Amino acid sequence: MEAALGLVFGVDSQLIRDGTYFVVEREGQIIGCGGWSNRKTLFGGDAMKTGMDIELDPKRDPARIRAFFVHPAWARCGIGCAILERCKKAIQLAGFRSVELVATLTGEPFYRACNYSQGERFEVPLANGLTLPVVQMVKQF
């Protein structure tokens, strides 16, 4: 996990600039966050970016679900579902007919329960020869 911090699990500041990143707070503490994107980048933080992050065409491209995290003390309390639903409404309003994401193996059951279909499994290269196993997932509206 330490090898993935900053690279894969870092902030993508483009989501913040686009206004498509949401947080849930409780007593001044962030307990969950996540967002969506109409840009090409599928996963990873600013450290993974290598050029322009072009906008997608809603008529032919899927939107992206990005950077979902829920504090472990708040797992299974509906926070992830609430953020995902907020994203879905915004994605549909933007004219997208489908959405895709890259889930960690621990996140895969959550997205499956939200009717996302499993796609390709692959490994993201990390520092020191380590890899992070992930799965691409998709959903049609």
Mean pLDDT of 8-26: 89
Please check whether residue 38 is in contact with residue 63, taking contact to mean a CB–CB distance below 8 angstroms.
yes
pLDDT tens digits for 21-36? 999 999 999 999 999 9
104 found inside a domain: yes
What's the domain range around 96? 13-140
pTM exceeding the 0.85 threshold for the entire prediction: yes
pLDDT tens digits for 75-87? 999 999 999 999 9
What is the CATH classification number for the domain harbouring 71?
3.40.630.30
Number of structural domains in the chain: 1
Q: Whose CA is closest to 76, among 107, 53, 30, 118?
A: 107
78 found inside a domain: yes
5 found inside a domain: no
pLDDT greater at residue 3 or residue 106: 106
* pLDDT at 65 > cutoff 70: yes
